[in-house]
Amino acid sequence: MQPGMSVSYVARRAGISPSQLFAWKRRMLEGGHAAVQADEDVVGASQMRELEKRVRDLERMLGKKTMEAEILREALDLARPKKRTSPLLSWSNPEDDTQ
């Protein structure tokens, strides 16, 4: 749409009714006002999709790192020597019985 073009002309070129165009414009403005009132940034759909993809990628990487940490923890548990319990020593020492 260029400056000076009528809404009716633009609607006819797009094959929609002028009332539909006005409704879309009103919804767009309402959304912008809601974002401004909430003190939020208004972002485009492509930027939103890009950010959602980034979140999915980061969640996938976090899952991989969590799995790696669990595998390494299990490997450490297997590699650590088990603490041996010392056999019970007799209370008396045979060398002390020479008295």
Q: How far apart are CA 51 and CA 19, in angstroms?
A: 34
Query: What is the pTM (predicted TM-score) of this model?
Result: 0.42
Q: How far apart are CA 74 and CA 44, in angstroms?
A: 45
Domain ranges of the chain: 7-42, 44-78
pLDDT of residue 11: 85
The tokens describing 1, both together, are: 């749409």
Q: Which residues contact residue 22 at a Cβ distance below 8 angstroms, ignoring those fewer than 6 apart?
A: 7
Closest to 7 (Cα-Cα) out of 76, 60, 17, 89: 17
**Higher confidence at residue 44 or residue 59?**
59
Which pLDDT tens digit goes with each residue over 24-35? 888 877 776 776
Residue pair 53/44 in contact by the 8 Å Cβ criterion: no
